[in-house]
């Protein structure tokens, strides 16, 4: 990831601010506030603002005036209780705002999470950066044969080189055509004084989906955790998981008690259906159970067995 001199200067200016406030602040999150944390080859994640902390969740749950004389352990117990019993509203009292640079195809996947406020870089108003995402060879994989939205074996040798070359050449060619249609270079210079440039809102449609865009993404803590539970999971697409892992670290810095409860009950926990619960109860009692008598589909059965490391997977 490369930042321009203007971007570096802007970040240093933001980090040099010293403001007095009566609102809660979080020292660990303040340490990385405004910092551009690298993601993929040209992307980044920046925390640019936040509101609240762990005590804000507790305060909301108790509808109290402030911290009072409660111990941290008391707050921890309440937050764990809220998480364990899916009491969601108190977590909505905290908010965080990110500045994110990401490939367009990941942005289109990300925007499926509709519970955030988003303002994206306008390619109708400005020219998109001449930067494209190119995967590393270890992240070039064939289509999975068992999962329609997943990856299979890693491509190797000449085939991997060919794919990378195609991705690079296509991106560079379409961007060159983009500049030609605009009659304007990325640096702002005009290509041909005798030609009119095509409207930016039309020229942009020619760009490849690995072109980088940027947005400000603001959400509350509850919906951030919903996002991270799906996108930091090992089943998620690698490229979006890179961003989610960075954001997971910001969550830990921001609300460490909530992070611990989230990792325990949401990320590390397992949901069990009513039928699954009956099967577990029978196994504990030493009773014999099998997929045919369980009332579960083969897929549900396998997921239950894998979650509790009970039996061999049924194909």
Measured over the CA atoms of residue 200, residue 201, residue 205 and residue 207, the dihedral's sign is: positive
CATH of the domain at 54: 3.30.1360.170
Task: Specify the number of domains making up the chain.
Answer: 3
Q: What is the mean pLDDT of residues 80-91?
A: 94
**Which residues is 102 bridged to in the sheet?**
213
Q: What is the mean pLDDT of residues 85-113?
A: 96
> What pLDDT band is residue 67 in, cutting at 50, 70 and 90?
low
**pLDDT at res. 267:** 94
Residue reference for tokens 């990941």: 106
Structural domain that includes position 291: 274-307
Q: Report the run of H or E that residue 118 belongs to, with start and end.
A: strand 117-120
C-alpha 24/C-alpha 9 separation (Å) is: 27
Give domain status of residue 314, yes or no: no
- Does the annotation mark 229 as catalytic? no
Residues with Cβ within 8 Å of residue 200, at least 6 apart in sequence:
123, 124, 125, 126, 127, 182
Q: What is the mean pLDDT of residues 40-46?
A: 97
Give domain status of residue 241, yes or no: yes
**pLDDT at res. 19:** 85
Residue 191 sits in the same domain as residue 248: no
Edge-first strand listing for the sheet containing 212-220: 37-39, 43-51, 95-103, 212-220, 117-120
Is residue 57 within 8 A of residue 93, CB to CB? The reply is: yes
> What pLDDT band is residue 72 in, cutting at 50, 70 and 90?
low
Residue 107 sits in the same domain as residue 215: yes
Q: Examine the fold and report which residue of 167, 191, 206 is the final residue of a domain before the chain moves on.
A: 206
- Give the burial class of 119: count Cβ atoms within 10 A of its Cβ; 0-12 exposed, 13-18 middle, 19 or more buried: exposed
Give domain status of residue 87, yes or no: yes
pLDDT over 80 at 14, yes or no:
yes
- The single residue of 46, 200, 204, 231 carrying the catalytic annotation is 231
**Which residues is 45 bridged to in the sheet?**
37, 100
The pLDDT tens digits of the residues spanning 200-247 come to 999 999 999 999 999 999 999 999 999 999 999 988 999 999 999 999
**pLDDT at res. 126:** 92
């Amino acid at each position: 990831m490369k930042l321009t001199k203007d971007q570096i200067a802007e970040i240093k200016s933001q980090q040099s601010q010293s403001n007095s406030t009566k609102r809660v602040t979080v020292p660990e999150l303040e340490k990385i506030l405004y910092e551009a944390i690298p993601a993929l080859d040209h992307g980044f994640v920046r925390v640019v603002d936040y509101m609240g902390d762990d005590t804000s969740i507790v305060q909301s749950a108790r509808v109290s005036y402030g911290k009072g004389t409660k111990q941290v352990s008391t707050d921890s117990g309440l937050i764990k209780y809220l998480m364990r019993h899916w009491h969601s509203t108190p977590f909505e009292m905290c908010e965080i705002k990110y500045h994110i640079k990401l490939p367009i195809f990941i942005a289109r996947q990300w925007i499926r999470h509709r519970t955030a406020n988003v303002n994206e870089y306008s390619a109708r108003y400005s020219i998109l950066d001449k930067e494209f995402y190119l995967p590393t060879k270890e992240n070039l994989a064939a289509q999975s044969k068992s999962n329609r939205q997943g990856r299979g074996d890693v491509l190797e040798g000449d085939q991997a080189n060919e794919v990378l070359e195609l991705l690079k050449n296509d991106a560079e060619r379409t961007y060159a055509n983009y500049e030609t249609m605009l009659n304007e270079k990325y640096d702002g210079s005009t290509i041909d004084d005798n030609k009119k440039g095509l409207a930016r809102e039309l020229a942009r449609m020619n760009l490849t989906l690995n072109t980088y865009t940027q947005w400000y993404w603001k959400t509350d803590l509850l919906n951030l955790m919903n996002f991270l539970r799906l996108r930091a999971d090992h089943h998620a697409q690698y490229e979006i998981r890179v961003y989610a892992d960075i954001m997971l670290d910001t969550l830990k810095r921001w609300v460490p008690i909530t992070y611990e409860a989230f990792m325990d009950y949401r990320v590390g926990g397992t949901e069990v259906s009513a039928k699954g619960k009956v099967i577990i109860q029978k196994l504990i009692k030493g009773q014999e159970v099998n997929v045919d008598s369980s009332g579960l589909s083969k897929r549900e059965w396998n997921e239950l067995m894998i979650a509790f490391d009970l039996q061999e997977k049924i194909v």
